[in-house]
Amino acid sequence: MTVPALQLERVEKRFGATPVIRGISLEIAAGERHAIIGPNGAGKSTLFNLVSGALSPTRGSIRLDGTEIAGAPPYRINRLGLSRSFQVTNIFPRLSVFENIRCSVLWSLGYGYSFWRDTEKLRDAREHAERALERIGMTARRNTPAGVLTYAEQRALEIGITIAGDPRVILLDEPTAGMSRGEAEHAVALIRAVTDGRTLVMVEHDMSVVYGLADRISVLVYGEVIATDVPARIHDNAAVQAAYLGSADA
Amino acid sequence: MLELATVSLLNGVVYGLLLFMLTSGLTLIFSMMGVLNFAHASVFMLGAYFSFQFGRWVGFWPALVIAPLLCGAIGAAIERYGLRRVHPRGHVAEILFTFGLAYVIEELVTMIWGRNAVANAVPTAIDFPLLRVFGSTFPAYKALMMAISVTMFAFLYVALKKTRIGLVIQASLTHPQMVSALGHDVPGVFVLVFAIGSALAGLAGVIGGFTLLTQPTLAHAVGSIVFVVVVVGGLGSLSGALIASLLIGILQTFAVAIDYSLLDLARSLGVSITRASPFYELASIKLATAAPIVPYLLLVVMLAVRPRGLLGTRDV
Amino acid sequence: MSESAVAARAPPAAGAVSGRTPGAWLWLGAAGVLLVLPHVPGLDSDYGRSLLTQMGIAAVFALSFNILFGQTGLLSFGHAVYFGLGAYAAIHLMRAINHGLPVPIVLVPLAGAAGGLLSGMLFGSVTTKKAGTIFALITLGVGELVYAATFMLPGIFGGEEGLTASRTRAPPLFGLAFASQLEVYYATALWSLAAAMLIHAFMRTPVGRICNAVRDNPERAEFVGYNTRRVRFIAFAAAGLFAGLAGGLSAINYEIVAADAVSAQRSGTVLIMAYIGGAAHFVGPVLGAITITWLQSSLSGYTSAWLLYLGLFFIVVNLYAPSGLAGLLLMHGRVARTRAFGALVGAYAVALVPAAVMAAGAIALIEMSYRVATQPELGTKMRLLWTAVDAASAWSWTIAGLALVAGFAAFRATWPLVAGAWERANAEAAGQ
């Protein structure tokens, strides 16, 4: 039996007396594309924060490829092969687009805290970064300071930073938020391409994006997963319809 | 021994409350605006000088009112004409602005009153013994200081936690546009907060001015300890500032009174450290001589053990 | 505003801090300039060479400060600790050399660097626990701690008078005995250039690039695999090393180290130098160090208000030119070739007149006040800006006050003119 890429077991999170995640158990297989949907306030971002190390769970276990990561700091989880993007664009504004990407591959290529090598001369870092730049379609803007990019460009860079280090598990937090239909379609194609062969967990509100990409969907309501299934069955699931999809389908 | 301990404790509390008076305005400004005002101790110093000057011209009691008001006005001007420009550029730019201001105020004070300490003596009106404690006298002005300090704490506690304007201000710290859209005059509120914080510093300066030496280096001498209080107490916590101020006040006052060194301690335990030992010099320092670094040692220990501070609420 | 205009105004992408990586030629050029400088007329005296030496020391110190501030986003109010502890280490080595230790004086700055590195690592383990405002306060506290401690351990720190040593009582190296200021200058220039090259190289290493990332967005840096606390620690240690090196150079130059080497005032001065010079650019701190050292040396003899002018200068830069001298130079460089540049210079000329009047009034008021308050024994008659002035006369004060107010009002009126000229110049540069 292969080890699931990501395994959550009875994960809980309380802020003071307020429970936000009320016990989530979930298994995501390697190579699977998994979407997490749910109404606002369900705890989707909190869940991402728990998995990526921004928060520690109050209880429960989170395993990445079998290794326990609950409560580990973000950098350790990233080094184990998990990378996440942010809903509010979280880039390095004063660095160029190229530098943004290059900084995100340095650790995965083993350069660590090296203070004796010239980064410009690191061919593998440059090639990795340029490859990632091409995949997100930003090669033309490589020398632009990230802070002056347009919103859509910054979202693309956001994804670029997330995937550049060749992570095995990718978490994307509302990757198409704020995009027009055309931009979202473009983003979906990009996401499909860059997550090929990797495990993807995605929080999304745009149902067409979800149906287009996901192998399975989990529905999160009030900190609990009320259903996990393939898209077709989720669509028909009565409980899900009542809690979330209702009559207003995206 | 009991006499020494009681007198030291009393003096320590008085000194600690003086520190709190000074730190309270800083905590107010920081909690509400996120600005660490480097020039706060400078306004304190201005309060001391104003009280001296106006005390000379119109007497102590009017000066007690005029000095804080003037300092409040100066604080309002600093925010309105200086800091307001800098807010959009972030906290580092704000700190640097107030740092430059502290520099300039120290020089302006030198320019007007000279480099030497001015004769800012305790006004005779409040310089009478209030109590006798074990043979030493406890003067009235120290009681006045304690009273003012405790009142400040109560005032600020209520202002921050219980009033509507306190809530509005705290909201505008993180969501200024939203608060503004709701109809509140956010820039105006900032000016008010800065003015009040500075007035408190000025008031503390009036008292501090005749307890400590009123000279251009006063701001720097006191300013660094104030920042220690803020870090030890926890950024943004008023109660933390009070506890930390008292702690530092008492520790430092006791330290000054203790004329023993590690050498003496070792000797009493039967261990002798000779001159040849590399630690001799360190061990022979009497605690009384080391008193100035007590607050900073406390800072380092606090940071090593509990970086958030005693009651810290915000993480910066 | 068009995107290209925004891009024109945006700081250059920090590919290697300043956007362009100075090649080996630039360094060679710098070496050449340093070689020639002490023979340039005006600088070819002991005074001139001493000034150049001080500039070199200040430049290294300011560059080390900027490893923390401009590169990693850490604002330190106590950086002099590492300069001073390095200086103390160096002076102890010099004293040992004076007593016969066979080490050439040229190597003494290494002791400074070691002292700076070790103390940087020691205190850095505590100070880098947090970033931002708390970090700034911690550095302030550590600075005060060390300063107070120097008075309590006279065996190590020499008490109030400090420690002295001689740079000439040492084994000569290739005939260099450091008896002349020229020799001291060349040793300082050599070390300063080496330090600058090393610091520049450091910023190009992987950890150096991550320092920039941590500055821009420490949260995201964690999520791409870096422990930001360790990155801050490394930056702190590196900054300490080079500050200590500067301290070592200072020990050689002055042959004395006292508590002022770790003082809050020295920490403040290096901050001001780096900031005024421009923290966002590699050469910024060097520019700042050179400018402030020169101003200090030339002005502090004439006026007791020197620190006030420095503080005001700092505030003006903070409010109106936050990218510092380097930023200003770059800004002007971008529009220098446009046709609108001539109009800009013209606008400057117009604004300069009321500005000068305002400055004259301010200077008069300041100088007169300082004379009356701090040096009454010199009397009230003084020479200001080539005019005889009497601080006791109400007339002097009135004229000075009027000059200040009227000058400021007129100066203010010229601001839209200058702003307009800049708009046109920027638009033209962006369009090109």
- CATH number for the domain including A241? 3.40.50.300
Verify that A134 and A174 share a domain, yes or no.
no
**Of B102 and B151, which is predicted with more confidence?**
B102
Task: Tell me whether residues A73 and C222 touch, CB distance under 8 A.
Answer: yes
Task: Give me C329's structure tokens.
Answer: 């130079």
Q: Give the domain-ending residue among A115, A146, A166.
A: A166
Of B85, B224, B289, the CB nearest to C152: B289
Q: Give the domain-ending residue among A166, A182, A217.
A: A166
Q: Give the domain-ending residue among A135, A166, A197.
A: A166
Q: What is the pLDDT of residue B316?
A: 41
Contacts of C6 in chain A (CB under 8 A): 148
The pTM score is 0.91
Strands lying side by side in the sheet with A59-64:
A18-28, A6-15, A59-64, A67-68
Verify that A14 and A113 share a domain, yes or no.
no
Least confident of B155-169, C89-103, C260-274: B155-169
Q: Mind listing the pLDDT tens digit for each residue in C339-363?
A: 888 889 999 999 999 999 999 999 9
Task: Tell me whether residues C373 and B111 touch, CB distance under 8 A.
Answer: yes
Q: What is the pLDDT of residue B142?
A: 82
Where exactly are the structural domains of chain B? 2-217
Task: Tell me whether residues B111 and C370 touch, CB distance under 8 A.
Answer: yes
Cα separations in angstroms, C422 against C46, C326, C354, C355, C417: 43, 18, 19, 18, 9
Contacts of C120 in chain A (CB under 8 A): none
Q: Mind listing the pLDDT tens digit for each residue in C140-183?
A: 999 999 999 999 888 889 888 999 999 888 877 776 778 888 88
Q: What is the pLDDT of residue B173?
A: 59
Give the residues of chain A that fall short of pLDDT 50: 247-250
- Phi, psi (degrees; rounded to nearest 5) at B134: 50, 35
Q: How many domains does chain A have?
A: 2
Verify that A141 and A175 share a domain, yes or no.
no
Q: Print burial letters for C31-50: b (CB count within 10 Å at least 16), e (below 16).
A: eeebeebbeeeebeeeebbb
Where exactly are the structural domains of chain C? 21-322, 336-431
Of C148, C312, C373, the CB nearest to B293: C148
Task: Tell me whether residues C220 and A161 touch, CB distance under 8 A.
Answer: yes
Closest-CA residue of chain C to A92: C216
Which partners does chain A have (≥3 C-beta pairs < 8 Å)?
Answer: C
Give the span between the Cα atoms of A186 and A192, in whole angstroms. 10
Burial (Cβ within 10 Å: 0-12, 13-18, ≥19) of residue B124: exposed
Q: How far C76 CA lies from chain A's nearest CA (Å)?
A: 21
Q: What is the pLDDT of residue C8?
A: 38
Q: How, if at all, do strands C387-390 and C381-384 pair?
A: antiparallel
Q: How far C144 CA lies from chain A's nearest CA (Å)?
A: 31
Closest-CA residue of chain B to C133: B316
Q: What CATH number was assigned to the domain covering residues C21-322? A: 1.10.3470
Q: How far B163 CA lies from chain C's nearest CA (Å)?
A: 27
Residue C13 has pLDDT above 60, yes or no: no
C interface mutation test: which of B38, B97, B103 has the most C CBs within 10 A? Answer: B103
Q: Quickly tell me which residue has 């009235």 as its tokens.
A: B140
Contacts of C136 in chain B (CB under 8 A): 36, 95
Task: Tell me whether residues C14 and A79 touch, CB distance under 8 A.
Answer: no
Q: What is the mean pLDDT of chain B?
A: 84
Q: Mind listing the pLDDT tens digit for each residue in C198-209?
A: 999 999 999 999
Full residue range of the structural domain in which residue A125 is found: 89-166
Cα separations in angstroms, C122 against A239, B316, C132: 60, 23, 20
Q: Mean per-residue pLDDT for B139-160?
A: 82
Q: Quickly tell me which residue has 């020089």 as its tokens.
A: B107
Q: What is the pLDDT of residue C189?
A: 95
Touch between chain A and chain C (3+ CB pairs, < 8 Å)?
A: yes
Q: Which of residues 300-329 of C touch B (CB under 8 A)?
A: 305, 307-308, 310-312, 314-315, 318-319, 322
Give the span between the Cα atoms of C212 and C221, in whole angstroms. 10
CA nearest to A186, candidates A138, A142, A232, A140: A138
Return all residues near A131 (Cβ < 8 A) that are at least 6 apart.
none
